[in-house]
Structure 1
Amino acid sequence: MRRRSKNLTEGNIKKQLYTLTWPMLFGMMGMVIFNLVDTYFVGRLGVNQLAAMSFSFPIVMFVNSLSQGIGIGTSSLVSRNIISESRENVRKMASRAVLLGVIVVAVFVTIGLNTMRPVFSSLGAGDAILDYVIDYMGVWYFGVPFVVIPMIGNNIVRATGDTFLPGMLMVSSAVVNIILDPMLIFGFGPIPAMGIKGAALATVIGRSVGLVFILFVLIRRENLLTVRFGRVKEILETWKNVLYIAGPAAIGMLITPVSIGFITKIIAGFGKEAVAAFGVASRVEMFALMVIVSLGSVLIIFIGQNISKNQFARIFHSLNYSMKFSMLWGMLVFVLFIVLGKPIASVFTDDPMVIDIARKYFYIVGSSYGFQGLLMLSASSFNGINKPYPSAIFSVVRMVGLYAPFAWVGAKIIGISGVFWAGFIANIVVGVLSFRYLHKTVHKLKFATKARE
């Protein structure tokens, strides 16, 4: 029987944010552990393989950003219509969004498989590392459908007010990956050792589990998928509505991997150990910020429903709670990095230079995570109120206007620490500006709504 969608326009705000966020947190934790386990086992193969995985990071982030953009657009659209529109209309919206994802996958995989060598050479991967990169990405690209489609599907289910099931599906994928990683990388019984190819294959298989489960939920439990997409005009109209949010959201997120690619090239000038350390630190950073990411995903749903009912007081309360939480969480993470920075880096490698550089990243950039969280929460909130462009603009300002140029200058002046200080400055400046502008925007919407009434 179909589950009834949750109404988030009434009730205790703190309780709703908490009950929606913690299942998301488990799901995000599963995905981050997914990446950390890959990094750990590949690190056992050697620095070259670890550096190869680090070079793949911008492309992996690119795909994740693309799929998250479509997922966010879908989540925003569905959450703003799930209460007021008929189930049939919502079903068609969801189905058309999934169709859009399928088309995007087909285009991206085709391009990716045919441009691996020039793309990664341009990022600075030398001959000794490039072959490992090709081995990894040659398998990984075939798993892109298992990344994009579940991302969109999970966002559809979340928009109904259910964050538990998507979170558990993400955990299931991570568990499968954790089990398969050592077996496929190092060999087990009749399974031959495949090295870095095995890490990619474990990722593909783990993601495929999520695809099967989310399709089952969307079709059988939620009854939110159909092959009757409607007329071409209606399909294009839904795509337009999704892309109105997804376009700026994806651009904002895509700016990050593109800029990280540039920063990786800068760091490559300091040696393969520096690249490996940056890859380790980037994955740990994902783990450190996953609570904020989870809360941000919830804000899209919460604000989306409340903006449809003009519940501005509830929106302001949710933003204030979120701001305080982000700053407190950032402080906690920084303290943990001060105490455990070296042991955390040592989990992934025993190379002393890699450990030292990763620890330096934790100490410098880690102190700004609370402010980076404000930017992430602001981006989600802008999408929830159907105002996607500010989130993209602030992301561009952070990465292109501040982080990338400051990293280039900093590297010239004080070495690799200058790259890290650039990230520190960008996080604080843009975090404060984005959250202040968000409050100003919501106030304008409130006054505009009162004027119409």
Structure 2
Amino acid sequence: MALNKKADRLGTEPIIPLLIKLSAPAVIGMLIQSLYNIIDSIYIGHLSKEALSAISLAFPIQLLLIAISVGTGVGTTSLISRLLGRQEHNRANSVAEHVTFLSVIYGIVVAIIGYFFTEDLIRIFTHDQVLIDLTTQYTRIILMGALALFVPIIGNNILRGEGNTFVPMVTMLIGAILNIILDPLLIFGIGFFPELGIEGAAYATIFARLTSGIFVWIILFSDKNQITLKLKQITFDPQIIIDVYKVGLPAMALQISASTMIAGVNKIVGSYSETAIAVFGIYFRLQSFVFLPIVGLTQGYMPIIGYNYGNNNSERMKKTIKSGAIISCIFTTVGFIIFQFFTKELILLFNKDPQLLEVGTTALKRITLAFPIMGPAIIFSTTFQAIGKGIPSLIHSTFRQILLLFPTMYLLSYLYGLDALWFAIPIAELIAAVIVTIWLVIVLHEVFKKMNEPTVTDKVGKVDKAKAK
């Protein structure tokens, strides 16, 4: 059948070239997306330090939206790749159709919440009226345009499930490049464009996402695509939703824990100054340039692991895990070097405020100490998702970003102040990386043991041969 032509290569082509081939488009797309995140913040930082703090406060809410879309998308990618590995092509199509409807429903619900409750949400994070006003202006637009986020992310993950990573790369490139172009035009009112300030950044984001979403869904509905969407013929199957969220809910919770982490850190560092909030916002934008490419790597990594898990090929799984860990470690080690030796230059990109520079230099050097081991930890966590075991990833993320981080940060803050509390982040990352590594080794030992056990057919064949002798 035509449907499994691209999927079959997941079980046959050499691992490293295949991993590079599948993940390179996503890595490039993520790098462009990271570049957009940074440039967007640089433009807003040049408005004012308060505006920079405002988008830092808005970021946890944006991450909640990303949590919904990424959670659904990861569950979709994992399920489709496993179904294709088992040659269940029609059910793979049905999965794509179900999540298409889900993306529309999510977008409508979030838009309603954004219209009525944005300011109430912002007041949870700060009592500063200036920050409340700025953050509300930006966040309301983002929430009301949530459908423009859900549509391209979930559409891209449908394609990744069958091993198509090129179109998702193009989708991200369209969104990111268009956003970079529109940002200064709408923020500062260049040419015939209105000067909209921080709202201009939000409008640029929504328009860029909408454009990229239209592109990916044109591809999905074309006859050139392997997954066939026939929305008029869909028959609702609750088991598909359950199967998507067996992996998707833990992945969603991973993002929610990240949102909770950012909100909590903002609350703790905000007790010192709004500058500290801006610093953490700068760090989070900059670190995306290191870690979003790792996320891109997992987009090629997950289908290979999922397909070969479904196909009982333990050797290809082992080689893929080893390759993914090495490549991710290289990425994060390079990031560590850049953050340690070019700290001041990075902060000066956003704003030249002396206090921002002083606080930021100390913070960035200390936060990034655990970078080299964080890349492989992401790969190991993703491995659980790829084989349909999302709970370990959830526990790893929650333990790392909340249960370890908050008490450690609060204690260091209480005992030694702002400069010391930044150490809490690498401490939590190091402990969590050790735990997820040991856990994965134990789980894979059992998985590979079952894969290598002789089947009933094998046993019967051996008996027959023995009788023949």
- TM-score, with length taken from structure 1: 0.95
Matched with 2:45 is 43
Matched with 1:383 is 385
Aligned pair 1:131/2:109, yes or no?
Answer: no
Which shows bigger deviation, 373-382 or 339-348? Answer: 373-382
How far residue 321 of structure 1 moved from its aligned partner, in angstroms, is 1.9
Q: 3-state DSSP class of the match of 2:422?
A: helix
1:369-408 to 2 correspondences below 5 Å: 369-408=371-410
Matched with 2:458 is none
Aligned pair 1:225/2:225, yes or no?
Answer: no
Matched with 2:119 is 117
Matched with 2:36 is 34
Q: 3-state DSSP class of the match of 1:5?
A: helix
Matched with 2:316 is 314
The amino acid of 1:21's aligned partner reads S
1:422 to 424, 431, 451: 424
Matched with 1:65 is 67
How far residue 36 of structure 1 moved from its aligned partner, in angstroms, is 1.2
The amino acid of 1:260's aligned partner reads I
1:333-372 to 2 correspondences below 5 Å: 333-372=335-374
How far residue 323 of structure 1 moved from its aligned partner, in angstroms, is 2.1
**1:174-227 CA distance string (max 9 Å, x none):** 111111101101112332200000000000011011110010010103153221
1:297 to 291, 296, 299: 299
1:409 to 408, 411, 415: 411
- Report the aligned-residue RMSD: 1.7
Which shows bigger deviation, 105-114 or 345-354? Answer: 105-114
How far residue 3 of structure 1 moved from its aligned partner, in angstroms, is 9.3
For 2:249 and 2:233, the matched residues in 1 are separated by 21
For 1:145 and 1:375, the matched residues in 2 are separated by 31
Matched with 2:463 is none
Matched with 2:158 is 156
For 1:113 and 1:172, the matched residues in 2 are separated by 27
**1:64-98 CA distance string (max 9 Å, x none):** 12210100000001111124335433222101012
Matched with 1:256 is 258
For 1:435 and 1:185, the matched residues in 2 are separated by 45
Change (3 A) 1:388 1:380: same
**Paired residues of 2:107 and 2:145 also in contact (CA < 8 A):** no
Q: How many residues align?
A: 451
**Paired residues of 1:91 and 1:224 also in contact (CA < 8 A):** yes
For 1:355 and 1:247, the matched residues in 2 are separated by 39
For 2:4 and 2:215, the matched residues in 1 are separated by 16
For 1:176 and 1:414, the matched residues in 2 are separated by 45
Which shows bigger deviation, 216-225 or 271-280? Answer: 216-225
**Paired residues of 2:85 and 2:308 also in contact (CA < 8 A):** no
How far residue 125 of structure 1 moved from its aligned partner, in angstroms, is 4.8
For 2:355 and 2:203, the matched residues in 1 are separated by 29
Change (3 A) 1:224 1:346: farther
For 1:379 and 1:332, the matched residues in 2 are separated by 21
Change (3 A) 1:136 1:184: same
Matched with 2:442 is 440
For 2:67 and 2:362, the matched residues in 1 are separated by 27
**1:34-89 CA distance string (max 9 Å, x none):** 21121011111101111111100111111112210100000001111124335433
For structure 2, the 5+ residue unaligned runs are 456-469
For 1:431 and 1:452, the matched residues in 2 are separated by 34
Which shows bigger deviation, 130-139 or 331-340? Answer: 331-340
For 1:327 and 1:417, the matched residues in 2 are separated by 27
Change (3 A) 1:87 1:101: same
The amino acid of 2:451's aligned partner reads T
Which shows bigger deviation, 278-287 or 185-194? Answer: 185-194
The amino acid of 1:227's aligned partner reads L
For 1:35 and 1:303, the matched residues in 2 are separated by 30
Change (3 A) 1:378 1:229: farther
How far residue 229 of structure 1 moved from its aligned partner, in angstroms, is 5.1
For 2:116 and 2:93, the matched residues in 1 are separated by 36
For structure 1, the 5+ residue unaligned runs are none
**Paired residues of 2:55 and 2:135 also in contact (CA < 8 A):** yes
1:186 to 177, 185, 188: 188
For 2:292 and 2:325, the matched residues in 1 are separated by 15
For 2:196 and 2:110, the matched residues in 1 are separated by 26
Change (3 A) 1:308 1:2: closer
**1:342-375 CA distance string (max 9 Å, x none):** 1011111111222232322321121211222233
**1:248-279 CA distance string (max 9 Å, x none):** 11112211101210111111111111111110
**Paired residues of 2:53 and 2:281 also in contact (CA < 8 A):** yes
For 1:429 and 1:326, the matched residues in 2 are separated by 18
**Paired residues of 2:4 and 2:87 also in contact (CA < 8 A):** no
For 1:145 and 1:255, the matched residues in 2 are separated by 22
How far residue 452 of structure 1 moved from its aligned partner, in angstroms, is 6.4
**Paired residues of 1:143 and 1:207 also in contact (CA < 8 A):** no
For 1:407 and 1:309, the matched residues in 2 are separated by 44
**Paired residues of 2:268 and 2:410 also in contact (CA < 8 A):** yes
The amino acid of 2:183's aligned partner reads D
Change (3 A) 1:65 1:16: same
1:246 to 244, 248, 256: 248
User: Considering only CA atoms, is the larger Rg found in Structure 1 or Structure 2?
Assistant: 2
The amino acid of 1:9's aligned partner reads G
For 2:454 and 2:57, the matched residues in 1 are separated by 52
Aligned pair 1:268/2:270, yes or no?
Answer: yes
Matched with 2:98 is 96
- TM-score, with length taken from structure 2: 0.92
For 1:177 and 1:225, the matched residues in 2 are separated by 29
How far residue 117 of structure 1 moved from its aligned partner, in angstroms, is 1.8
Runs ≥4 residues deviating over 6 A: none
Matched with 1:202 is 204
The amino acid of 1:267's aligned partner reads V
Aligned pair 1:53/2:55, yes or no?
Answer: yes
**Paired residues of 2:114 and 2:144 also in contact (CA < 8 A):** no
**1:150-177 CA distance string (max 9 Å, x none):** 1111011111112122112101111111
**Paired residues of 1:96 and 1:229 also in contact (CA < 8 A):** no
Which shows bigger deviation, 406-415 or 101-110? Answer: 101-110
For 1:248 and 1:391, the matched residues in 2 are separated by 7
